[in-house]
Amino acid sequence: MAHDHESMLSRSEAVREVLDILDRALSNRETRELSVGDGVAERFLAESITAPRDVPSHDHATMDGFAVDATESYPLAVSEGEIFPEDEPPSLAAGEAIRIATGAPLPERANAVLKIEEASVEAGELGGSSLEPGTYTYERGSNVSAGEVLFRSGERMSAKDLILLRDLGIERVTVYGPFSAGLLATGSEIHEEKTADLDSPMLAALVRSWGHRATIEGTVPDEYEETRDRIAQLADEHDVVITTGGTSVGKKDYVIRALEALGEVEFHRVRIRPGKPIAVARLPDHDAVAFAIPGKPVGAHTIATLVMRSFFVGETEPISTVEASLTSDVGIGTSGFEYAVPVTLDEGNAVPLGHVDSPLEVYDETFDPSVLSSSTRATRADGIVLTESDLSAEESVRVIPYSVLE
Protein backbone atom coordinates (compact mmCIF):
# COMPACT_ATOMS: atom_id res chain seq x y z
CA MET A 1 0.00 0.00 0.00
CA ALA A 2 1.31 3.44 -0.89
CA HIS A 3 1.96 5.84 1.96
CA ASP A 4 2.87 8.98 0.04
CA HIS A 5 1.34 12.34 0.94
CA GLU A 6 -1.00 12.32 -2.06
CA SER A 7 -2.53 8.97 -1.08
CA MET A 8 -3.80 10.30 2.25
CA LEU A 9 -7.45 11.24 2.59
CA SER A 10 -8.76 14.51 3.94
CA ARG A 11 -10.93 14.37 7.05
CA SER A 12 -14.14 14.81 5.05
CA GLU A 13 -13.10 12.07 2.61
CA ALA A 14 -12.26 9.73 5.49
CA VAL A 15 -15.61 10.40 7.17
CA ARG A 16 -17.44 9.64 3.91
CA GLU A 17 -15.55 6.34 3.66
CA VAL A 18 -16.45 5.48 7.25
CA LEU A 19 -20.12 6.33 6.66
CA ASP A 20 -20.12 4.04 3.61
CA ILE A 21 -18.67 1.26 5.76
CA LEU A 22 -21.40 1.96 8.34
CA ASP A 23 -24.14 1.65 5.69
CA ARG A 24 -22.78 -1.74 4.63
CA ALA A 25 -22.43 -2.89 8.23
CA LEU A 26 -26.04 -1.94 9.04
CA SER A 27 -27.40 -3.71 5.96
CA ASN A 28 -26.27 -7.06 7.41
CA ARG A 29 -27.45 -6.52 10.97
CA GLU A 30 -30.45 -7.97 12.72
CA THR A 31 -33.20 -5.61 13.78
CA ARG A 32 -35.46 -5.40 16.80
CA GLU A 33 -38.69 -3.59 17.58
CA LEU A 34 -38.60 -1.38 20.66
CA SER A 35 -41.06 0.89 22.38
CA VAL A 36 -40.23 4.57 22.06
CA GLY A 37 -39.47 4.74 25.78
CA ASP A 38 -37.24 1.66 25.85
CA GLY A 39 -33.80 2.54 24.57
CA VAL A 40 -34.64 3.92 21.11
CA ALA A 41 -32.43 6.98 21.58
CA GLU A 42 -28.90 6.43 20.22
CA ARG A 43 -30.08 3.57 17.98
CA PHE A 44 -29.99 3.50 14.18
CA LEU A 45 -33.41 3.20 12.55
CA ALA A 46 -33.94 0.08 10.46
CA GLU A 47 -36.85 1.59 8.51
CA SER A 48 -38.11 4.96 7.44
CA ILE A 49 -40.91 6.59 9.44
CA THR A 50 -43.77 8.35 7.68
CA ALA A 51 -46.23 10.64 9.45
CA PRO A 52 -49.51 8.72 9.86
CA ARG A 53 -51.57 11.91 10.28
CA ASP A 54 -51.48 15.68 10.30
CA VAL A 55 -50.01 17.33 13.38
CA PRO A 56 -51.81 19.16 14.78
CA SER A 57 -55.00 17.37 13.71
CA HIS A 58 -57.02 20.59 14.24
CA ASP A 59 -56.26 24.28 14.13
CA HIS A 60 -55.39 25.27 17.71
CA ALA A 61 -55.55 28.52 19.63
CA THR A 62 -52.26 30.01 20.76
CA MET A 63 -53.92 32.63 23.01
CA ASP A 64 -56.80 32.77 25.47
CA GLY A 65 -59.65 34.61 23.81
CA PHE A 66 -62.48 34.04 21.36
CA ALA A 67 -62.54 31.77 18.33
CA VAL A 68 -63.89 33.75 15.38
CA ASP A 69 -64.17 33.82 11.61
CA ALA A 70 -61.91 36.77 10.78
CA THR A 71 -63.79 37.43 7.52
CA GLU A 72 -66.98 38.29 9.44
CA SER A 73 -67.78 41.73 10.90
CA TYR A 74 -68.41 42.63 14.53
CA PRO A 75 -70.52 42.35 16.56
CA LEU A 76 -70.53 38.57 16.82
CA ALA A 77 -72.87 36.60 19.02
CA VAL A 78 -71.01 34.90 21.86
CA SER A 79 -71.96 31.23 22.06
CA GLU A 80 -72.32 29.63 25.46
CA GLY A 81 -69.48 27.62 26.92
CA GLU A 82 -65.71 27.59 26.40
CA ILE A 83 -63.37 25.25 24.51
CA PHE A 84 -60.47 23.70 26.42
CA PRO A 85 -57.50 21.67 25.04
CA GLU A 86 -59.09 18.34 25.94
CA ASP A 87 -62.41 19.16 24.20
CA GLU A 88 -63.76 18.23 20.80
CA PRO A 89 -64.56 21.58 19.19
CA PRO A 90 -68.31 22.30 18.88
CA SER A 91 -69.89 23.55 15.68
CA LEU A 92 -70.00 27.32 15.21
CA ALA A 93 -72.77 29.04 13.32
CA ALA A 94 -72.25 32.02 11.02
CA GLY A 95 -71.89 35.24 13.00
CA GLU A 96 -70.91 33.43 16.21
CA ALA A 97 -67.84 33.42 18.42
CA ILE A 98 -66.93 31.23 21.38
CA ARG A 99 -64.50 31.51 24.26
CA ILE A 100 -61.37 29.41 23.79
CA ALA A 101 -58.31 28.55 25.89
CA THR A 102 -54.71 28.37 24.72
CA GLY A 103 -54.04 25.02 23.09
CA ALA A 104 -57.71 24.24 22.46
CA PRO A 105 -58.86 23.11 18.98
CA LEU A 106 -60.73 25.67 16.89
CA PRO A 107 -64.26 25.00 15.64
CA GLU A 108 -64.40 24.25 11.93
CA ARG A 109 -65.70 27.71 10.93
CA ALA A 110 -63.20 29.62 13.07
CA ASN A 111 -59.91 30.74 11.54
CA ALA A 112 -58.54 33.22 14.10
CA VAL A 113 -58.47 34.02 17.81
CA LEU A 114 -59.30 37.44 19.23
CA LYS A 115 -57.17 37.57 22.35
CA ILE A 116 -58.96 38.38 25.57
CA GLU A 117 -57.13 41.69 26.07
CA GLU A 118 -58.53 43.07 22.79
CA ALA A 119 -62.09 41.79 23.24
CA SER A 120 -65.20 43.43 24.66
CA VAL A 121 -68.48 41.70 25.40
CA GLU A 122 -71.71 43.57 25.96
CA ALA A 123 -75.14 41.99 26.07
CA GLY A 124 -73.78 38.76 24.66
CA GLU A 125 -72.15 40.43 21.66
CA LEU A 126 -68.42 40.46 20.91
CA GLY A 127 -66.46 43.42 19.64
CA GLY A 128 -62.76 43.85 19.14
CA SER A 129 -59.84 44.59 16.85
CA SER A 130 -59.80 43.55 13.22
CA LEU A 131 -58.00 40.26 12.51
CA GLU A 132 -56.44 38.39 9.64
CA PRO A 133 -57.22 34.68 9.21
CA GLY A 134 -54.58 32.67 11.07
CA THR A 135 -54.09 35.21 13.87
CA TYR A 136 -53.09 33.41 17.09
CA THR A 137 -53.69 29.97 15.61
CA TYR A 138 -51.53 26.91 15.14
CA GLU A 139 -52.82 25.57 11.82
CA ARG A 140 -53.67 21.95 11.12
CA GLY A 141 -50.77 20.13 9.47
CA SER A 142 -48.45 23.11 9.89
CA ASN A 143 -46.17 20.99 12.07
CA VAL A 144 -46.35 17.70 10.17
CA SER A 145 -48.36 16.65 7.13
CA ALA A 146 -49.73 13.13 6.81
CA GLY A 147 -47.52 11.04 4.50
CA GLU A 148 -44.41 13.14 5.09
CA VAL A 149 -41.20 11.10 5.54
CA LEU A 150 -39.74 12.35 8.81
CA PHE A 151 -37.00 9.82 9.58
CA ARG A 152 -35.01 7.73 7.14
CA SER A 153 -33.62 4.24 7.54
CA GLY A 154 -30.09 4.35 8.93
CA GLU A 155 -30.67 7.60 10.80
CA ARG A 156 -29.51 7.66 14.42
CA MET A 157 -32.22 8.63 16.86
CA SER A 158 -31.69 11.19 19.59
CA ALA A 159 -33.58 11.96 22.78
CA LYS A 160 -35.33 14.94 21.16
CA ASP A 161 -36.64 12.74 18.35
CA LEU A 162 -38.81 10.92 20.88
CA ILE A 163 -40.90 14.09 21.26
CA LEU A 164 -42.01 13.96 17.63
CA LEU A 165 -42.58 10.21 17.64
CA ARG A 166 -44.91 10.44 20.63
CA ASP A 167 -46.70 13.44 19.11
CA LEU A 168 -47.35 11.31 16.02
CA GLY A 169 -48.75 8.53 18.18
CA ILE A 170 -45.90 6.19 17.20
CA GLU A 171 -45.15 3.94 20.15
CA ARG A 172 -42.84 1.30 18.59
CA VAL A 173 -40.04 1.51 16.03
CA THR A 174 -37.66 -0.97 14.41
CA VAL A 175 -33.99 -0.33 15.09
CA TYR A 176 -30.60 -1.96 14.74
CA GLY A 177 -28.95 -3.18 17.92
CA PRO A 178 -25.84 -1.43 19.27
CA PHE A 179 -22.44 -2.45 17.94
CA SER A 180 -20.10 -4.52 20.09
CA ALA A 181 -16.51 -3.27 20.06
CA GLY A 182 -13.44 -5.13 21.30
CA LEU A 183 -10.39 -3.01 22.18
CA LEU A 184 -6.89 -4.42 21.77
CA ALA A 185 -3.72 -2.56 22.75
CA THR A 186 -0.58 -3.52 20.85
CA GLY A 187 3.05 -3.08 21.84
CA SER A 188 5.49 -5.14 23.87
CA GLU A 189 6.02 -2.32 26.36
CA ILE A 190 2.30 -2.35 27.17
CA HIS A 191 1.99 -6.13 27.00
CA GLU A 192 4.85 -6.51 29.48
CA GLU A 193 3.28 -3.82 31.69
CA LYS A 194 6.27 -1.54 31.45
CA THR A 195 4.00 1.18 30.06
CA ALA A 196 0.38 1.79 31.01
CA ASP A 197 -2.34 1.32 28.42
CA LEU A 198 -3.66 4.88 28.28
CA ASP A 199 -5.81 4.47 25.18
CA SER A 200 -8.14 1.52 25.74
CA PRO A 201 -10.12 2.91 28.71
CA MET A 202 -10.53 6.25 26.91
CA LEU A 203 -11.68 4.66 23.63
CA ALA A 204 -14.02 2.28 25.43
CA ALA A 205 -15.60 5.23 27.24
CA LEU A 206 -16.06 7.04 23.91
CA VAL A 207 -17.75 4.03 22.30
CA ARG A 208 -20.10 3.70 25.29
CA SER A 209 -20.89 7.42 25.26
CA TRP A 210 -21.91 7.02 21.61
CA GLY A 211 -24.44 4.35 22.63
CA HIS A 212 -22.60 1.10 21.91
CA ARG A 213 -20.93 -1.70 23.87
CA ALA A 214 -17.18 -1.83 24.44
CA THR A 215 -14.94 -4.45 26.03
CA ILE A 216 -11.25 -4.00 26.79
CA GLU A 217 -9.74 -7.25 25.51
CA GLY A 218 -6.15 -6.95 26.68
CA THR A 219 -2.85 -6.60 24.85
CA VAL A 220 -0.51 -8.27 22.38
CA PRO A 221 3.27 -7.87 22.00
CA ASP A 222 5.01 -6.64 18.88
CA GLU A 223 4.77 -9.98 17.08
CA TYR A 224 3.06 -10.26 13.72
CA GLU A 225 1.36 -13.65 13.97
CA GLU A 226 0.08 -13.07 17.49
CA THR A 227 -1.26 -9.65 16.47
CA ARG A 228 -2.98 -11.07 13.38
CA ASP A 229 -4.48 -14.04 15.22
CA ARG A 230 -5.76 -11.97 18.13
CA ILE A 231 -7.42 -9.46 15.78
CA ALA A 232 -9.05 -12.36 13.93
CA GLN A 233 -10.30 -13.86 17.18
CA LEU A 234 -11.81 -10.57 18.33
CA ALA A 235 -13.36 -10.01 14.90
CA ASP A 236 -15.27 -13.27 15.40
CA GLU A 237 -16.50 -12.07 18.81
CA HIS A 238 -17.29 -8.43 18.06
CA ASP A 239 -18.77 -6.26 15.33
CA VAL A 240 -15.86 -3.84 15.59
CA VAL A 241 -12.22 -4.34 16.55
CA ILE A 242 -10.36 -1.24 17.72
CA THR A 243 -6.61 -1.59 18.00
CA THR A 244 -4.18 0.97 19.39
CA GLY A 245 -0.55 1.36 18.38
CA GLY A 246 1.39 -0.23 15.55
CA THR A 247 -0.19 1.89 12.80
CA SER A 248 2.92 3.57 11.43
CA VAL A 249 5.51 2.02 9.13
CA GLY A 250 8.18 1.11 11.67
CA LYS A 251 9.87 -2.27 11.95
CA LYS A 252 7.52 -3.45 14.71
CA ASP A 253 4.32 -1.86 13.42
CA TYR A 254 2.40 -5.00 12.49
CA VAL A 255 -1.24 -3.91 12.71
CA ILE A 256 -1.65 -2.69 9.13
CA ARG A 257 0.03 -5.80 7.77
CA ALA A 258 -2.29 -7.96 9.89
CA LEU A 259 -5.39 -6.14 8.66
CA GLU A 260 -4.29 -6.51 5.05
CA ALA A 261 -3.96 -10.25 5.63
CA LEU A 262 -7.38 -10.52 7.27
CA GLY A 263 -9.43 -8.29 4.98
CA GLU A 264 -9.33 -5.07 3.01
CA VAL A 265 -7.79 -1.86 4.34
CA GLU A 266 -10.04 0.93 3.05
CA PHE A 267 -7.61 3.68 3.91
CA HIS A 268 -4.47 4.26 5.96
CA ARG A 269 -3.47 7.71 7.17
CA VAL A 270 -5.56 10.87 7.07
CA ARG A 271 -4.31 14.44 6.62
CA ILE A 272 -4.89 15.31 10.29
CA ARG A 273 -2.29 16.07 12.94
CA PRO A 274 -2.18 14.66 15.55
CA GLY A 275 -3.71 11.28 14.72
CA LYS A 276 -2.58 10.88 11.11
CA PRO A 277 -1.75 7.11 11.05
CA ILE A 278 -5.33 5.83 11.47
CA ALA A 279 -6.41 2.88 9.32
CA VAL A 280 -9.87 1.44 8.68
CA ALA A 281 -10.47 -2.06 7.34
CA ARG A 282 -13.35 -4.34 6.46
CA LEU A 283 -12.98 -7.94 7.56
CA PRO A 284 -15.70 -9.69 5.50
CA ASP A 285 -14.70 -13.23 6.50
CA HIS A 286 -15.41 -12.24 10.09
CA ASP A 287 -18.35 -9.90 9.39
CA ALA A 288 -16.51 -7.16 11.24
CA VAL A 289 -14.91 -3.75 10.85
CA ALA A 290 -11.54 -2.72 12.28
CA PHE A 291 -10.24 0.69 13.30
CA ALA A 292 -6.49 0.91 13.86
CA ILE A 293 -5.88 3.94 16.06
CA PRO A 294 -2.39 5.40 16.62
CA GLY A 295 -1.00 4.83 20.09
CA LYS A 296 -0.23 8.33 21.34
CA PRO A 297 -3.18 9.14 23.62
CA VAL A 298 -4.07 12.69 22.55
CA GLY A 299 -3.65 11.76 18.89
CA ALA A 300 -5.77 8.66 19.52
CA HIS A 301 -8.56 10.75 21.04
CA THR A 302 -8.35 13.35 18.27
CA ILE A 303 -8.61 10.92 15.37
CA ALA A 304 -11.20 8.75 17.13
CA THR A 305 -13.53 11.70 17.71
CA LEU A 306 -12.99 13.30 14.31
CA VAL A 307 -13.11 10.17 12.12
CA MET A 308 -14.06 6.94 13.93
CA ARG A 309 -16.97 8.62 15.72
CA SER A 310 -18.96 8.82 12.47
CA PHE A 311 -19.22 5.00 12.40
CA PHE A 312 -20.89 4.95 15.81
CA VAL A 313 -23.13 8.01 15.51
CA GLY A 314 -23.69 8.39 11.76
CA GLU A 315 -23.45 11.72 9.98
CA THR A 316 -21.43 14.18 12.07
CA GLU A 317 -21.37 17.33 9.96
CA PRO A 318 -21.67 20.18 10.66
CA ILE A 319 -19.81 20.05 13.96
CA SER A 320 -21.03 22.64 16.48
CA THR A 321 -18.50 25.28 17.44
CA VAL A 322 -18.16 28.30 19.71
CA GLU A 323 -16.39 31.50 18.71
CA ALA A 324 -13.41 32.74 20.69
CA SER A 325 -10.41 35.04 20.34
CA LEU A 326 -7.03 33.28 20.10
CA THR A 327 -4.50 34.55 22.64
CA SER A 328 -1.25 33.62 20.85
CA ASP A 329 0.22 33.13 17.39
CA VAL A 330 0.17 29.49 16.32
CA GLY A 331 2.09 28.51 13.20
CA ILE A 332 1.73 25.19 11.44
CA GLY A 333 4.55 23.02 10.15
CA THR A 334 4.00 21.04 6.98
CA SER A 335 1.27 22.42 4.75
CA GLY A 336 -1.47 20.20 3.36
CA PHE A 337 -2.62 18.93 6.76
CA GLU A 338 -5.51 19.86 9.02
CA TYR A 339 -4.19 20.57 12.51
CA ALA A 340 -6.25 19.99 15.65
CA VAL A 341 -4.97 22.58 18.12
CA PRO A 342 -6.10 21.99 21.74
CA VAL A 343 -7.28 25.14 23.51
CA THR A 344 -8.72 26.13 26.86
CA LEU A 345 -11.57 28.63 26.98
CA ASP A 346 -11.46 31.60 29.32
CA GLU A 347 -14.07 34.38 29.11
CA GLY A 348 -14.23 34.37 25.32
CA ASN A 349 -10.52 33.71 24.83
CA ALA A 350 -8.99 30.53 23.39
CA VAL A 351 -5.61 29.73 24.96
CA PRO A 352 -3.58 27.20 22.91
CA LEU A 353 -2.71 24.56 25.50
CA GLY A 354 0.88 23.56 24.73
CA HIS A 355 1.99 27.03 23.68
CA VAL A 356 4.76 28.49 25.86
CA ASP A 357 2.30 31.11 27.08
CA SER A 358 0.00 28.38 28.43
CA PRO A 359 0.39 26.16 31.54
CA LEU A 360 1.78 23.43 29.24
CA GLU A 361 4.96 24.51 27.44
CA VAL A 362 5.41 22.26 24.41
CA TYR A 363 5.99 24.67 21.53
CA ASP A 364 6.83 28.32 21.00
CA GLU A 365 5.16 29.53 17.80
CA THR A 366 5.01 26.46 15.57
CA PHE A 367 2.45 23.87 16.66
CA ASP A 368 4.13 20.55 17.54
CA PRO A 369 1.56 17.77 17.07
CA SER A 370 4.05 14.96 17.64
CA VAL A 371 5.03 15.94 21.19
CA LEU A 372 1.56 17.22 22.05
CA SER A 373 0.03 13.93 20.92
CA SER A 374 1.76 12.20 23.83
CA SER A 375 1.13 14.89 26.44
CA THR A 376 -1.51 13.69 28.88
CA ARG A 377 -1.72 17.25 30.29
CA ALA A 378 -3.16 18.31 26.92
CA THR A 379 -6.35 16.45 27.84
CA ARG A 380 -7.19 19.40 30.10
CA ALA A 381 -8.09 21.42 27.02
CA ASP A 382 -11.74 22.40 26.55
CA GLY A 383 -11.76 21.75 22.82
CA ILE A 384 -9.87 22.01 19.57
CA VAL A 385 -9.43 24.49 16.75
CA LEU A 386 -9.09 22.94 13.29
CA THR A 387 -6.86 24.85 10.91
CA GLU A 388 -4.88 24.34 7.72
CA SER A 389 -2.98 27.61 8.00
CA ASP A 390 -1.17 29.78 10.53
CA LEU A 391 -3.26 31.40 13.25
CA SER A 392 -2.67 34.86 14.69
CA ALA A 393 -3.15 36.28 18.16
CA GLU A 394 -6.53 38.04 18.57
CA GLU A 395 -7.86 36.16 15.55
CA SER A 396 -11.44 34.92 15.88
CA VAL A 397 -11.46 31.11 15.81
CA ARG A 398 -14.14 28.42 15.95
CA VAL A 399 -13.60 26.03 18.85
CA ILE A 400 -15.10 22.53 18.76
CA PRO A 401 -15.82 21.71 22.42
CA TYR A 402 -14.84 18.21 23.50
CA SER A 403 -18.36 17.87 24.88
CA VAL A 404 -19.63 17.97 21.29
CA LEU A 405 -17.22 15.30 20.09
CA GLU A 406 -17.65 12.99 23.06
Q: Which residues pair with 176 in a beta bridge?
A: 31
The whole-number pLDDT of residue 56 equals 84
The whole-number pLDDT of residue 3 equals 44
Segments in 263-391 forming alpha helices (H)? 297-303, 309-313, 369-374
Task: Give the whole-angstrom CA distance, residue 181 versus residue 207.
Answer: 8
Contact 311, 289 (CB under 8 A): yes
Residue 317: CB atoms within 10 A of its CB come to 10
Task: Give the whole-angstrom CA distance, residue 157 versus residue 45.
Answer: 7
> How many Cα atoms within 13 Å fall on the side-chain side of residue 215?
12
In tens digits, what is the pLDDT along the chain, a chain of 406 residues?
444 555 799 999 999 999 999 999 999 899 999 999 888 999 999 999 999 998 888 899 999 999 999 999 999 999 999 999 999 999 999 999 999 999 999 999 999 999 999 999 999 999 999 999 999 999 888 889 999 999 999 999 999 999 999 999 999 999 999 999 999 999 999 999 999 999 999 999 999 999 999 999 999 999 999 999 999 999 999 999 999 999 987 777 899 999 999 999 999 999 999 999 999 999 999 999 999 999 999 999 999 999 999 999 998 777 899 999 999 999 998 899 999 999 999 999 999 999 999 999 999 989 999 999 999 999 999 999 999 999 999 999 999 999 999 9
Contact 287, 28 (CB under 8 A): yes
DSSP state string for 74-134:
SPEEEEEEEE-TTSPPPP--TTEEEEE-TTPBPPTT--EEEEGGGEEEETTEEEE----TT
Helix (H, G, I), strand (E, B) or coil at 26: helix
Cα–Cα distances in angstroms (integers) from residue 308 to residues 207, 300, 365, in the given order:
10, 10, 30
Q: Which helix (H) or strand (E) holds 154?
A: none
The whole-number pLDDT of residue 6 equals 58
Contact 279, 268 (CB under 8 A): yes
Task: Give the whole-angstrom CA distance, residue 300 versus residue 308.
Answer: 10
Dmax (CA) for the chain in angstroms is 97
Given CA atoms 30, 36, 37, 41 in this order, what sign does their dihedral have? Answer: positive
Residue 357: CB atoms within 10 A of its CB come to 12
Contact 300, 308 (CB under 8 A): no
Q: Calculate the dihedral angle through the C-alpha atoms of 378, 383, 387, 390, rounding to the nearest 10 degrees.
A: -60
The whole-number pLDDT of residue 2 equals 41
The whole-number pLDDT of residue 7 equals 78
